[in-house]
Amino acid sequence: MNNVNTQKIIEALTSRYDMYHRNKYIFFIFGVLLKIIDDYEDGLVDYISHDMCLVLKCLFIVTTIIAFIIDTEFINEYVYIVISMAFIENSLVNANGEILKFYILHGIITLAFYIYYVCRRKLQLIEYSYVYGFSYTIVKIMNIYTWLYLENELFGENISEIKIFYRTYLVVSTVLFQSYIISNLKNMTIAYMTISVLNMIISNDK
């Protein structure tokens, strides 16, 4: 019986590993598109036009749907970022203070997929630690919200050498010290932060 269970675990991990390497570029594209759109709306970049940004937004929505379909674990982590961002000041507005309907649409799509997977029992609404007796869900939301809130308070949308160094450190440390982690959220974060650093460098040199 133990051998059968061990074999199932190995098969599940192998399948997850194969899926991860087969589809990881989708999540790199996800992160790249998200950050380019984000920085354009914040007025930090001018190397794309308004029409080009509309095209990128359409591509991002398609990429989002594909990402959510091929990896339920990704949305299980990403949904907490979306929820946390909704409570961060000025995170859903552009440089002119206008509410971004695109981000609202993206949030609705994210929550719709998450609720669908929960209803189909592919994801747990509340994740518990049976060892420590607390909810991982609450801890995740608190950790992500705290990180996003502190970064927003420390740096905001301003460009500085400290912010460039900080985000470069995040990219390098993730690549070097988390290479063993099989997570498409990690891939998305690496792409997002890399584009963030490049955009800040480009803007800082003007």
How do residues 73-98 score in pLDDT, each as one tens digit?
888 888 888 887 777 666 777 767 77
pTM over 0.85: no
When pLDDT is averaged across residues 119-126 and rounded to a whole number, the result is 72
The Cα–Cα gap between 198 and 128 comes to 39
pLDDT of residue 133: 44
pLDDT-based confidence at residue 134 (cuts at 50, 70, 90): very low
The Cα–Cα gap between 71 and 184 comes to 8
pLDDT of residue 23: 79
Residue 131, pLDDT above cutoff 60: no
Residue of 56, 74, 77 lying closest to 66 (CA atoms): 74
Alpha-carbon distance values, 20 to 14, 29, 72, 92 (Å): 10, 14, 12, 30
pLDDT tens-digit series, residues 141-189: 565 656 666 666 666 667 778 778 878 887 887 777 655 555 788 888 8
Q: Which two tokens stand for residue 48?
A: 């794309």
pLDDT of residue 106: 93
Question: What stretches of the chain show up as alpha helix (H) in DSSP?
Answer: 2-41, 50-70, 72-85, 101-119, 136-154, 161-177, 184-204
Q: Report the chain's terminal Cα–Cα distance, integer Å.
A: 66
Q: Domain ranges in the chain?
A: 2-204
When pLDDT is averaged across residues 56-60 and rounded to a whole number, the result is 96
